[in-house]
């Protein structure tokens, strides 16, 4: 069942020189999740933040830390992100041969487990993982950078995963990441998403605009 819409600002679009302040600002502005993009310069062509930064941000917000790992391999780093204070850890299905084991390892640490699909990856690739999942993250851009354009074909994938979650009757968030803004948000919600990642659409205009930006995305 599609749950209430939750907004997850991606701090990739925040001012990295004052990340703690930025996290407090989006928290106060009404963010539901804080989406943290972890990139390794190997799985994706960009390098961002590691577990020490996540741990440093933890005291700045009690909101859900939604950690999106765009790294390969994943397994050696799960414990460090769990200890840093991640509430949800999401790994890419394309990042390893043993995603089922990765999801079990995440849940074994009492952290919610998510799986993410790149735009080219079919919905069916996660068909035998649903029982291990708390969240599915559909990438609506090729991962690596903020501010890219929404890839329309991903709406079909969101619809298909929504049907699957509902037919199984499982309590799983359906999150969409990339190019979510005022032009695309309604179609993303109509397709069945209930957690919306928004980087540039949240952080545009500076701290004074965050509350209004988040409110507008919520519809
Ligand atoms: C892309 C990241 C996204 C990104 C979204 O690789 O996973 O979370 O920050 O940025 P926008 O919302 O600007 O497309
Ligand atoms: Zn992300």
Alpha-carbon distances, residue 47 vs 43, 50, 69, 143 (angstroms): 10, 9, 11, 12
**Contact at 8 Å (CB) between 144 and 47?**
no
pTM greater than the 0.95 cutoff: yes
DSSP for the chain reads: -----EEEEBGGGS-GGGHHHHHHHHHHTT-SEEEEEEEBSSSSS-B---HHHHHHHGGG--SEEEEEEE-SS-GGGHHHHHHHT-SEEEEEGGG-S-HHHHHHHHHHTT-EEEEEE-TTS-GGGGTTTGGG-SEEEEESS-TT-SSPPP-TTHHHHHHHHHHHHHHHT---EEEEESS-STTTHHHHHHHT--EEEESHHHHTT-GGGHHHHHHHHH-
Q: How confident is the model at residue 203 (pLDDT cuts 50, 70, 90)?
A: very high
The yes-or-no verdict on residue 21 having pLDDT over 90 is: yes
Q: Give the largest Cα separation in the chain, rounded.
A: 45
Ligand 1, atom nearest to 147 Cα:
13
Whether 148 lines ligand 1, by a CB cut-off of 6 Å, is yes
CATH of range 6-217; options 3.40.50.300, 3.20.20.70, 3.40.50.10260, 3.40.190.10:
3.20.20.70
Whether 9 lines ligand 1, by a CB cut-off of 6 Å, is no
Told to judge if 52 belongs to the known catalytic residues of this protein, a careful annotator would answer no
Average pLDDT over residues 178-188: 98
pLDDT digits (tens, 9 = 90+) for 121-179: 999 999 999 999 999 999 999 999 999 999 999 999 999 999 999 999 999 999 999 99
**What span, in angstroms and rounded, lies between the C-alpha atoms of 119 and 107?**
26
Atom 1 in ligand 1: residue holding the nearest Cα: 143
**What span, in angstroms and rounded, lies between the C-alpha atoms of 155 and 159?**
6
- What residue spans define the domains of the chain? 6-217
Whether 73 lines ligand 1, by a CB cut-off of 6 Å, is no
The yes-or-no verdict on residue 219 having pLDDT over 90 is: no
Told to judge if 177 belongs to the known catalytic residues of this protein, a careful annotator would answer yes
**What tokens appear for 203 in the block?**
């952080």
């Amino acid at each position: 069942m599609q749950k209430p819409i939750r907004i997850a600002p991606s701090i990739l679009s925040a001012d990295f020189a004052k990340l703690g302040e930025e996290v407090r600002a989006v928290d106060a502005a009404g963010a539901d999740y804080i989406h943290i993009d972890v990139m390794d310069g190997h799985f994706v062509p960009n390098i961002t933040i590691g577990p020490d930064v996540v741990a440093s941000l933890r005291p700045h917000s009690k909101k859900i830390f939604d950690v999106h790992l765009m790294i390969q391999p994943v397994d050696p780093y799960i414990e460090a992100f769990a200890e840093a204070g991640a509430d949800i850890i999401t790994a890419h299905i394309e990042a390893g041969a043993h995603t089922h084991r990765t999801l079990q390892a995440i849940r074994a640490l009492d952290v919610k487990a998510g799986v993410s699909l790149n735009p080219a990856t079919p919905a069916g690739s996660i068909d035998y993982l649903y029982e291990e999942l708390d969240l599915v993250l559909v990438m609506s851009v090729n991962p690596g950078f903020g501010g890219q354009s929404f890839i329309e074909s991903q709406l079909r994938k969101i619809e298909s995963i929504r049907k699957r979650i509902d037919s199984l009757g499982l309590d799983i968030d359906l999150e969409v990441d990339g190019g979510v803004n005022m032009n695309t948000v309604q179609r993303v919600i109509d397709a069945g998403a209930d957690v919306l990642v928004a980087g540039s659409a949240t952080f545009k205009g500076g701290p004074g605009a965050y509350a209004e930006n988040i409110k507008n995305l919520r519809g």
